[in-house]
Structure 1
Amino acid sequence: MSENLQNIKANKTIGTNELIINIIHWIRYILSKWKVLALFAIIGLTGGVYYYNTHKGNYTAEYSFIVSGGNGPSGGYSGIASQLGLDVGGTSGSLFDENNIITFFRSRSILDKVLYSNYKNSDKLIIDRYIEINGIKDKWSKNNISAIKFNAEESKRTIQEDSVINGIYKIIVKSNLFVDKPDRKSDIIYARFIGNDQVFCKTFMDELMNQVSLFYKETKSNNDLRNVEILQRQVDSVKNTLNASIRGVAVAIDNTPNANPSQQVVRVESQRRVVDAETNKALLAELTKNLQMTKMAMQRQPILLQIVDYPILPLEFTRTGLIKTVAIGVIVFLIIGLVVVVLTRVYTQVKHLFIIDKV
């Protein structure tokens, strides 16, 4: 038993010693390739300096806002309205809900409207300015599409134009436009555009906020107008029914002019007509009140976004320092060089064993 324990300990010692020896051999081998690693470090240093000189930094235009709460009539109106097919916050409320507003800000339809808006009240479109400041047209010259002109009228756009817009849209949502809610306990949402031209960044964000507000107002107005039309029809219908009920009461009374007070059955018809009239009267009063409330809601034009903060020129400027940029470049390329050295050694050893086995 003791001999087995001694053998196990001896094997462990041998295994540990072999591991240490292998590690030492690897370290010596890597150090022996210091010239290769130094070459990769120089490449990283050069790349860091080049990146620093070619990337001038970015400006950030940021809005912070709170999504407004429910709009339109509430309370007892919502119960009746749902039975009448009215929208009391359904379509517009769900679309502009806090949980959906982040996705809505980055939607293709909204960004299309922004890109096809005039840039600072000029004849140039925002899409034209974006292409200009990012040097995209120089890349297009290779694809023979540098002469493309963007048309604000959707019916006159070509397939080639839509294809280009789709590509630019993907670049913007991936690299420039960011909308998020970092603090889940807070209601504040942040929307920012990051780019290398501060005037463009601010102009883009101003137009984006404007387009979202316009779309909301149009949607809300359409819903309110539809609600008014439905309520007006219901008011007219109930009013006609009420008039018919009042007439029915009079007819029932006239049919029994000298009714015997001890015979209640002859008064059933007139009492039923009275109940119908009272019910329609109450319903008409409620519908009329809700109709007036909806008309008032249309006049108020509620605000969707309560702005907390907005961008002011000069915008916040961010740029990675030269030392940090160079350090990152050197570290990255040293790691790449180390991987190349290790893989080369492993490949050589495997190739050598394969040759020996073959022999």
Structure 2
Amino acid sequence: MIQTDQENKSSSNEVTLEDMVAKAKSYYNFLKRNRLKILLVGILCAAIGIGVAFIKKPKYIARITFGLHDEPTMGGGLSSLASQLNLLGGSNKGVYSGFNLLPFLTSRLMIQKTLLTEAEFQNGKKELLINYYLKKNKYYEKWDDEPLLHNLRYTATGKNSRLQDSVIGELYKTFKTKNLMIDRLDKKSTIIYMQFIDTDELFAKNFIEALAANATDFYIRSKTKKSADNLRRLQNQADSMRRVLDNALAGAASSTDAVPNANPLRQTLRVSAQKRMVDVEANKAALIEVNKSLQLAKITLNQDTPLIDFLDMPILPLEEVKLGKITGGILGFIAGIMLSVAYLTARKIFSMI
């Protein structure tokens, strides 16, 4: 008897194909009865989508593509000699070389430096990018009730206050997550792709160009700092030794002029001039060696300087991304249908509980 009851319960809990078909027909009939409501919601959302397409500002895409070649190429002659003497910077790749360049391009240092860069806008007027951006996006109007923010202005050379740094920090977060995209064309490529999207065409173009210029300039100076410092030191040393040699030559000439017709039998009269000539020869030999080192240093600097080829630059008019009226209407209609069906279904389920 107990076994029979259990079998009846299990059979009652089973869902047959007929039950599924019946429920599907019931749900279909339910949607059919409410089709007018669903259609009206879809039309309403389509109208909203068209309105959004009218109101929403278009966005502009500024792109820059450049190739980075930072591997030194070793030549012959002085280049080989410099390599043997460990004077070339070929192994001095530094933290900015290779794949580490990508996070550097999106760092706060570069974004802040770019925002504080002056660029040319309408009618040839030059203005800091950050001041233009805040004014164009009506931040100052939003800050009417905040005197400190409303009067906030930036200068290229001035030291930023805590408040100014906080505003830059917020812009940095926004740009990095929503506006700026930097990547390689593929994993093994040395070609870097930079893109900035904004509703202001001129700002998008000026910002991405300033970012590329600041980043490449900083990268080159970082890669060549050691070589450039060494070159300046050797150049100063060569200039100093040149002055010493000139003084020695002048001293030798003066000693010779002091005894123009020295008696050949009196060698002591020629000692001073001979000492001066020894100084001249010594200084001359030293200058020759310094000049050799100077030439090697120039080769080192050339070897350490990365080659950057800009393959693609933003040209006005920029590519425009805008929600079309037809697209907005279709998307709005589909969204309205889905939302209305979901709402009616949820209400039906809750009414059955």
Gaps of 5+ in 1: 1-6, 233-285, 351-359
Equivalent residue runs for 1:308-323 within 5 Å: 308-323=311-326
Count the aligned residue pairs.
Answer: 284
1:148 corresponds in structure 2 to 152
Q: Which amino acid aligns with 2:92?
A: G
Task: Provide the residue aligned with 2:52 in structure 1.
Answer: 51
Cα separation, 2, equivalents of 1:116 and 1:315: 23
Q: Which deviates more from structure 2 when the two are superposed, residues 140-149 or residues 328-337?
A: 140-149
Q: How does 1:107-118 map to 2 (within 5 A)?
A: 107-118=107-118
Q: Give SS of 1:329's match.
A: helix
* Alpha-carbon distance in 2 for matches of 1:76, 1:345: 86
Identity score, percent: 25
1:27 alignment counterpart: 28
After TM superposition, give the deviation of residue 107 of structure 1 in Å: 1.1
CA contact (8 A) 2:106 2:176 kept: yes
Displacement after TM superposition at 1:166 (Å): 1.0
TM normalised by structure 1 equals 0.67
- The answer to whether residue 155 in structure 2 is matched with residue 171 in structure 1 is no
- What SS does structure 2 have at the residue aligned with 1:223? helix
In the alignment, residue 127 of structure 1 is paired with which amino acid? I
The verdict on how the C-alpha distance between 1:47 and 1:141 changes in structure 2, with shifts beyond 3 A counting, is farther
Look up the equivalent residue of 1:90 and give its one-letter code. N
- Say whether residues 1:103 and 2:107 are aligned partners: no
Q: Determine helix, strand or coil for the equivalent of 1:348.
A: helix
1:327 to 2:330 alignment: yes
**Residue in structure 2 matched with residue 274 of structure 1 by the alignment:** none
* Aligned-pair CA distance for 1:176: 1.8
Letter in 1 for 2:220: K
Q: Is the 8 A contact 2:117 2:156 kept in 1?
A: yes
Mapping for residues 40-79 of structure 1, pairs under 5 Å: 40-71=41-72
Q: Could you tell me whether the CA contact under 8 Å between 1:118 and 1:124 is conserved in 2? A: yes
Which segment drifts farther, 28-37 or 193-202? 28-37
- The 1:168–1:14 alpha-carbon spacing in structure 2 relative to 1, beyond 3 Å, is closer
Q: In 2 relative to 1, CA 77–341 (structure 1 residues): closer, same or farther, beyond 3 Å?
A: farther
Distance 2:211 2:323 in 1: 28
2:320 partner SS: strand
Alpha-carbon distance between aligned partners in 1 of 2:110 and 2:331, rounded to the nearest angstrom: 38
1:202 match: 205
Aligned residue type for 1:108: R
Q: Give the unaligned 5+ runs of structure 2.
A: 1-7, 236-288
Displacement of 1:301: 8.0
Supply the AA of the counterpart residue of 2:162: I
Aligned AA (2:327): K
| Compared CA separation, residues 62 and 19, structure 1 to 2 (3 A) | same
Kept in 1, the 8 Å contact 2:72–2:303? The answer is: no
Distance 1:222 1:26, change over 3 A: same
Distance in 2 separating the partners of 1:183 and 1:299: 28
Instruction: Please tell me the root mean square deviation across aligned C-alpha atoms, in Å.
Output: 3.6
